[in-house]
Amino acid sequence: MELEKWDNQRRVLGARSATAVSKLNEEQYGIYTEVMDAVTNHRPLCAFVDGKAGRGKTFLVNTICNKLRSEGHIVLPTATSAFAAQLYPGGKTTHSVFKVC
């Protein structure tokens, strides 16, 4: 179901992510490459992106999600608050996805 939701948008997501990757700063690009490397090499990775307001967290997470979805991967972005989860397409709260109390 998750794959079908994004399948018809793969080309657009790929173009969007390519543009966004070129705009990542050094720290964001380091996180981006770490995630991509983990996915490419089938290595488990749990990433928690934290930082002050306006530092590009949402931009980075959306870039990663768009790239992975453009390649046909299932992506379930989560956030600790409902407000933050709404910033990610397909985003949900961490506690609703992982049944954390």
Cβ contacts of residue 67 below 8 Å, gap of 6+? 13, 14, 17, 21, 32, 36
What pLDDT was estimated at residue 15? 95
Domain that holds residue 90: 2-98
Read off the pTM. Answer: 0.86
pLDDT per residue over 38-76, tens digit each? 999 999 998 889 999 999 999 999 999 999 999 999 999
Distance CA 16, CA 18 (A): 6
Number of domains in the chain: 1
Distance CA 61, CA 20 (A): 11
